[in-house]
Amino acid sequence: MDSGTGGVAFRVLDLLRDLIVTVQLRPGQRLSELEIASALGISKTPVREALIRLDEMDLVRIVPQSGTYVTLISVQRYTTACFIRLHLEVGAARMAAASAAPPHSLEKLRQIHDQLIDAETRDDHSAFVSRDEDFHREIFLLAGHLDAWVTGRRAQFDLNRARNIRREHRIPRGPEVIRQHAEIIAALEAHDPDRAEAAIHAHIGDLERQVGRLFTDNRLNGLIELPKPN
């Protein structure tokens, strides 16, 4: 991206990426450079540069002589994202549990948990999702590996898109999530790595179950890119 349009292009990139991950731009939807540029009051050049970067990230597909489309949710990318999330979070939870840090170091995690309960009580879906993200980030912080959290999130786009589509339907999992988070906190307080690992597995679910949901969830019909045959 050249210096004249780079800053604008990166802002467009951030905006479009967030709209795609939150499925405000749907899998398979056609994107128009002209319409995006007009809506944002900018030229087409930074929009085109942002779309090229999104194509490199597999969030859009630029098809010559046809147009630019939001990619479908890829089974392969979803599987990879589940694998990365599960193993990174298990590792972080085990390290946090094994840490000799004093009990007050968990105070932030408890505060986030209380905020999660409050969001559930108020039926504030947006706040609940945000606090849930904060909770898991805090575990990596306690483990001393916040960079791993940042790295892992870069591979989570398709996993988060599937989760956000499910969230549109407001399936009530709040009480279950709160119970599972409480067990994670208890495991960390007990400095029990095995219990922490078991709590993470119970919360996130095993890889086979996660991937299997892609093929049994009717809400994802028409939005999934099936694996190519060998």
The two domains 6-71 and 74-225 share their CATH topology (first three levels equal): no
Return the CATH class of domain 6-71: mainly alpha
Report H helices in 44-145.
44-56, 75-98, 107-121, 125-143
Ordered by start, the domain boundaries in the chain are 6-71, 74-225
Please write the tens of the pLDDT for every residue from 216-227: 777 777 888 876
Note whether 200 and 135 are within 8 A (CB).
Answer: no
Whole-angstrom Cα distance, residue 98 to residue 161? 33
What is the pTM assigned to this prediction?
A: 0.78
Mean pLDDT of 37-49: 94
Please write the tens of the pLDDT for every residue from 146-184: 999 998 888 889 988 888 887 776 555 788 889 999 999
Please name the helix (run of DSSP H) or strand (run of DSSP E) that holds residue 73, with its range, or none. Answer: strand 73-74
Return the CATH class of domain 74-225: mainly alpha
13 pLDDT higher than 70: yes
